[in-house]
Amino acid sequence: MSSKTMAYAGGLLILPALYVFFYAIRLLPAGHELSEWLPRWDRVLLVVTIIVLERFISYRYAISQRAVLTRDLISTAVNFWVTGAVTIFLLLPALQFFPEHFLGRGRFFAAPEQLGPFWLQFLTILLVISFARYWIHRLQHEIDFLWEFHSYHHRTTDLIALNADVSHPIDYALRNVVIFIVLGLIGFDPLAMLLAVPVARVSNFSHCGADIKGGYLNYVIVTPEVHRWHHAAEIPEGHRYAVNYGVEFIFWDILFRTFHLPQENGEFLQPARIGHTGGLPDEPSYLKLLLKPLGLYRPLARFKRPEKQQPAE
């Protein structure tokens, strides 16, 4: 076996091995002592691991993201530690209103047994999460109002670990928080939730900037090779808004005919360029990313002190 073949085979093993490892890690945080001094430590470890991979297995078409590093770090921190908590604080009372006032309890179903056997609940949670996130993500491209928030995520010119969570908090909450709040109120078996939810939480690997091959996994989960086409600067022919909307699994794209991953001579092709489909450049200012979709950035700019005019020579 040639060294090239061995390297390719090794690359195919990296992704599934990391998925299994971080799935196991995701089962620990709730009761792990590390959570006391670093909440979401498992996600931080995931990002650090991907960064290491990006350094050692560099993508051949990689583009430096150093100019937007500050923006990436701020957005990642906000969405890691603030967005979810604020969303739960604002939405949970409203979502609990119906079961509490009409059913007399905090959940829709009084006992998990009402929702069927454990294995069925586990599969149902996986399918509901992936189906809902597919359509939420797709609508974020198809509805102008939602695209105004989501478009900043698509201005990035390369996919790396640190821009996986670069999104407006509202955009991030719609895709990554709301569905989990709703599922928590239905009344599924807590163990089924504990085992199913981490499958969705390792979706950060789709933004891995390392040159990792997905192989047959490209037809099951959202790998970097699959997700780069979603971020392609030119929309593939035959599609109107984008392709590969899936967040964790790709089979919804296959079912709804939004899947795109061309091959040539047995190898999966990658887009020539990643970026905004309208040609807009990346936005380095987190303040602008945060305020402009809300219509607040321009009014704020009026209060800035005008620059002093240079005296005429």
Is there a domain that residue 7 lies in?
A: no
pLDDT digits (tens, 9 = 90+) for 105-136: 888 998 899 999 999 999 999 999 999 999 99
Cα dist from 2 to 7, 9, 264, whole Å: 9, 11, 21
Amino acid (1-letter code) at residue 220 = V
Cβ-count burial 103-123 (b if 16+ within 10 Å, e if not): eeeebeeeebeebeeeeebbe
Is there a domain that residue 2 lies in?
A: no
Q: Band of the pLDDT at 11, cuts 50, 70, 90?
A: low
Is there a domain that residue 310 lies in?
A: no
pLDDT digits (tens, 9 = 90+) for 222-262: 999 999 999 999 999 999 999 999 999 999 999 999 999 99
- CA nearest to 230, candidates 127, 281, 132, 154: 154
Q: Band of the pLDDT at 32, cuts 50, 70, 90?
A: low
Is there a domain that residue 309 lies in?
A: no
Cα dist from 277 to 4, 107, 158, 243, whole Å: 35, 42, 13, 12
Number of neighbours of residue 193 by Cβ within 10 angstroms: 18
Is there a domain that residue 108 lies in?
A: yes
Tokens in use for 73? 């770090």
Counting the structural domains of the chain, the total is: 1
Comparison of pLDDT for 45 and 303, the residue scoring more: 45
Coil/strand/helix, residue 287: helix
Taking the C-alpha atoms of residue 273 and residue 159, their distance in angstroms, rounded to an integer, is 11
Tokens in use for 17? 């091995």
Amino acid (1-letter code) at residue 117 = P
**Structural domain span for residue 84:** 12-294
Taking the C-alpha atoms of residue 129 and residue 179, their distance in angstroms, rounded to an integer, is 7
Tokens in use for 70? 């500050």
Query: What does DSSP assign to residue 268?
Result: E
Tokens in use for 167? 């999104």
Is there a domain that residue 3 lies in?
A: no
Rg (CA), the chain: 21
Question: Which residue is it, tokens 């350094």?
Answer: 55
pLDDT digits (tens, 9 = 90+) for 151-193: 999 999 999 999 999 999 999 999 999 999 999 999 999 999 9
Taking the C-alpha atoms of residue 200 and residue 138, their distance in angstroms, rounded to an integer, is 17
Q: Counting runs of H as helices and runs of E as strands, what totals does the chain give?
A: 14, 2
pLDDT digits (tens, 9 = 90+) for 196-231: 998 887 778 999 999 999 999 999 999 999 999 999
Is there a domain that residue 264 lies in?
A: yes
156, 166 Cβ separation under 8 angstroms: yes
Phi, psi torsion values for 257, nearest 5 degrees = 60, 40
Is there a domain that residue 237 lies in?
A: yes
